[in-house]
Structure 1
């Protein structure tokens, strides 16, 4: 397997692709920690629901309004990944991780300023726009690199690449809750919390650019040879990113990802207030601390699903794995709504299952793309597909928050605020299931000539 040359960065740049080619004897197992240092930080986005109640009170905004920074961050994640995916392929993972560090941490610092001066639009700009660019570039930065390091286990590799993003809230949720308790939940306390997070994450994320390496041209794992026979959906041919956009497979996967993400992110963005609402009228209401713990539990499910389910996809195949994500995910939603509103254990376990499928879907999609379109420009194709996340990042929270706000205005409370939105999520998962069933191998007319691919990948 060959490494892509670095025509986009000057030869003397310490961030360029050629500067991070692994020396002889380099262990490929040092690259997953580099990916985790970026993704565990930017995965803080999944703890946004912890900030919603303090912001709503301090800034006098609605639940829909408090979702704006998160929604914009996800939109920018998809857009920056789509437009920056080719640059990430050309310039390499060290450049991408450095850009991610700069944008994400700057976004937190701008948010701190916005909270300090009472200007909510600065929080939206900082966390949503600037930080969202860091999310997108950071998210795709290790994907193609780890696929190249682990051609023998691509599902596991992509699980490693992005499992930290799912687990970021496992750290950020209790940490943010503790800081807000110490600093205060007013504007000044929120500002101090954003400030500390921006500075600490800058130090933590710096490990990524320092550790990351790419395999040298022609590298393969010791003792490994490509299998003689492949599953029907696993292609030996490559497809360029511009040609992938012309295939029905790309757009079917776009629907699959979009609807799977919409169904999961709707719960995740409103997790803390949702669990409080569901059991508001029970004999043991959920406290703010317990709600933050629920967010952390969902983060653990999200994270474990990314590595666990994506690794299983290496055994049972990507299409079968998405049948589970979408089909069983719809059934889990039915269970949570029908039984979970009267049972905390069922509610928690059902939500954990949904979030594990949500995370697993993210981790498996790069391997699905690699199966269908080959390794050439898989990072760029992945970046373009993440526009589905941009749409879902708006749709999921908007559906849940708008319906809940409308219900509250009409006198509803508790779990009744979420019945309609849950029904919509079930329908979307069913449509995604059908889209996955329609996926077939990519037609030969989109394949690149092997000689052309090798020549372009080995340009000096």
Structure 2
């Protein structure tokens, strides 16, 4: 359906006018540098999905606060765990929340991508705010009532829809505003998603310790507060969105012509892209790279605590099981710093690796991810075995930088292979690989961990087998990436087909096309305030992360 300025879409009837797509088309004088902070406001919130592991251990002892595993029920089934009010939840049951959320992220991104183009990013941002923040509120209710199914529903299913809507709306909007700096624009949006845990994890730990009492783990109160904060911040971001008129370009800029042999100048139709072997090879490349990283993220906090135990607080002779409640609180705070540090490198990797891919090519960049990642995963058990926190943390920081770099590089890889006409929609479909990885990665890690726990294995050896299996994932990804080749000419659209599908969209109304001042302004007073609004929380997250990281490297 084509939507034109001044003509309301049928789907807009009955809705508040400030939510319509026509209402958010930028007018003369709008500063495009106001859009990145709006995008960051949303991505920094939904990026907390990477930091949810800080909740798992406190929730696994929610009924045993101040008591030694008084409500442990190791033999209960998952079905029983969903509804029990007398047994503590297992970590493996809680991690499923993360998997559900990532599955829904990919599915909602693929399903609602077309709706986003018609409805505009403001509606998508509003829906994302209500789903993501509302999911935390439903999760808080589930913790309060000790009903695991409510946590799965709220933070998993509903929150996952918010993840998908929140993820795709800033990316597509920023790419349209910055055709002259497309890589930077994508990095700005995806950076926020990678950095959400850097702010959210220490905030969650701070709130849990504030609300914790002798009879409460402090988690439901924390989820309620964070849910309200996320709704507020994401609404500010959604209402800060504007989209450029059709055909808008930065004044004085013309699109360059690429001469790289690996970058096609033609375009593949959306309906044909998934029929090509290249699509499925790239699907496997993304899925395997994400599976290896996301499994670690899902259990980052408990992994560090269980491997190093008392060594995290200067008492290397104490294993995790030997720590008292106060000591576990101390190492939980250190582990939250580990989660935040991974998030920081996740952010940095999105800029570094995406920029490097412009120089060495996407294929070689992914080959580096898989080869180097394989070596680091295989070496991680050695670092844990010798008790080197510094080496262990360094290995995983590099691994997570490549995990983030994979997300930032894959849109450009798709554009190289399939052209740019449908790259947004193709990217949305490819994100189903992320959904699959969201199940495979955490499932593999938690299943192997549980098997090792059941076998009585503790300490550094608890995750050894897991690391070797994740290294095998990356080896398979290396092969898939090696097989990617340029598409045959028969897959590309003809000039007449391209002209046909390029018609439609939002028409530029009077005073909205050409050089009418749209996009100008730079870092003026308004833009500076918007950047400060997102920059201050980021700076606090970085400071907190680095302060805790000093303990890890001490």
| Map of 1:62 onto structure 2 | 90
| Map of 2:434 onto structure 1 | 389
- Cα offset for 1:77? 0.8
SS of 1:142's equivalent in the other structure is helix
Unaligned runs of 5+ in 1: none
Q: Which has the greater radius of gyration?
A: 2
Corresponding position: 1:215 with 2:244: yes
The answer to whether the Cα contact below 8 Å between 1:89 and 1:380 also exists between their aligned partners in 2 is no
Q: How many residues align?
A: 458
SS of 1:436's equivalent in the other structure is helix
Q: Which moved more, 1:256-265 or 1:411-420?
A: 411-420
CA deviation map 1:199-219 (0-9, x unaligned): 111111112222222222222
CA deviation map 1:120-173 (0-9, x unaligned): 110111000001100011111111222222223322221112111110011110
| Map of 2:271 onto structure 1 | 242
Find the partner of 1:322 among 366, 387, 396. 366
TM-score for the superposition, normalised by structure 2: 0.78
- Cα offset for 1:364? 1.6
Find the partner of 2:137 among 105, 109, 115. 109
SS of 2:180's equivalent in the other structure is coil
- Cα offset for 1:453? 2.7
SS of 1:213's equivalent in the other structure is coil
- 1:153 and 1:23 map into 2 onto residues whose CA distance is 21
Q: Which moved more, 1:36-45 or 1:152-161?
A: 152-161
- The correspondence of residues 106-185 of structure 1 with structure 2, limited to 5 A, is 106-184=134-212
- Cα offset for 1:255? 0.5
- 2:119 and 2:491 map into 1 onto residues whose CA distance is 26
SS of 1:278's equivalent in the other structure is helix
CA deviation map 1:397-430 (0-9, x unaligned): 1111111111111111112121221111111111
- The correspondence of residues 229-268 of structure 1 with structure 2, limited to 5 A, is 229-268=258-297
Find the partner of 1:418 among 451, 460, 463. 463
Q: Which moved more, 1:160-169 or 1:340-349?
A: 340-349
Question: RMSD of the alignment, in Å?
Answer: 2.2
- Cα offset for 1:4? 8.0
| Map of 1:293 onto structure 2 | 337
CA deviation map 1:35-91 (0-9, x unaligned): 111010011111111000011111612221110111111111111111112212222
- 2:400 and 2:102 map into 1 onto residues whose CA distance is 17
Q: Go from structure 1 to structure 2 and tell me whether the alpha carbon gap of 1:8 and 1:364 turns closer, same or farther (over 3 Å shift).
A: farther
Q: Which moved more, 1:127-136 or 1:155-164?
A: 155-164
| Map of 2:12 onto structure 1 | 10
- The correspondence of residues 435-454 of structure 1 with structure 2, limited to 5 A, is 435-448=480-493, 449-454=497-502
| Map of 1:85 onto structure 2 | 113
| Map of 2:443 onto structure 1 | 398
- Cα offset for 1:230? 2.7
- Cα offset for 1:233? 2.9
| Map of 2:398 onto structure 1 | 353
| Map of 1:307 onto structure 2 | 351
| Map of 1:428 onto structure 2 | 473
- The correspondence of residues 24-35 of structure 1 with structure 2, limited to 5 A, is 24-35=28-39
Unaligned runs of 5+ in 2: 64-87, 319-329, 509-554
The answer to whether the Cα contact below 8 Å between 1:85 and 1:382 also exists between their aligned partners in 2 is no
- 1:305 and 1:109 map into 2 onto residues whose CA distance is 32
Q: Go from structure 1 to structure 2 and tell me whether the alpha carbon gap of 1:395 and 1:318 turns closer, same or farther (over 3 Å shift).
A: same
Q: Go from structure 1 to structure 2 and tell me whether the alpha carbon gap of 1:89 and 1:275 turns closer, same or farther (over 3 Å shift).
A: same
The answer to whether the Cα contact below 8 Å between 1:115 and 1:188 also exists between their aligned partners in 2 is no
SS of 1:339's equivalent in the other structure is helix
- The correspondence of residues 332-351 of structure 1 with structure 2, limited to 5 A, is 332-342=376-386, 343-351=388-396
TM-score for the superposition, normalised by structure 1: 0.94
- 1:440 and 1:295 map into 2 onto residues whose CA distance is 37
CA deviation map 1:346-403 (0-9, x unaligned): 1111110111111111122122223323333333222211111111111111111111
The answer to whether the Cα contact below 8 Å between 1:341 and 1:347 also exists between their aligned partners in 2 is no
- 1:271 and 1:412 map into 2 onto residues whose CA distance is 18
SS of 2:425's equivalent in the other structure is helix
Q: Which moved more, 1:120-129 or 1:361-370?
A: 361-370
| Map of 2:55 onto structure 1 | 51
- 1:159 and 1:87 map into 2 onto residues whose CA distance is 24
- 1:444 and 1:113 map into 2 onto residues whose CA distance is 56
- Cα offset for 1:304? 1.5
Q: Go from structure 1 to structure 2 and tell me whether the alpha carbon gap of 1:174 and 1:401 turns closer, same or farther (over 3 Å shift).
A: same
The answer to whether the Cα contact below 8 Å between 1:75 and 1:394 also exists between their aligned partners in 2 is yes
- Cα offset for 1:457? 4.1
SS of 1:273's equivalent in the other structure is helix
Corresponding position: 1:455 with 2:457: no
Q: Go from structure 1 to structure 2 and tell me whether the alpha carbon gap of 1:237 and 1:459 turns closer, same or farther (over 3 Å shift).
A: farther
The answer to whether the Cα contact below 8 Å between 1:278 and 1:341 also exists between their aligned partners in 2 is no
- Cα offset for 1:278? 1.8
- 2:4 and 2:457 map into 1 onto residues whose CA distance is 59
- 1:188 and 1:290 map into 2 onto residues whose CA distance is 18
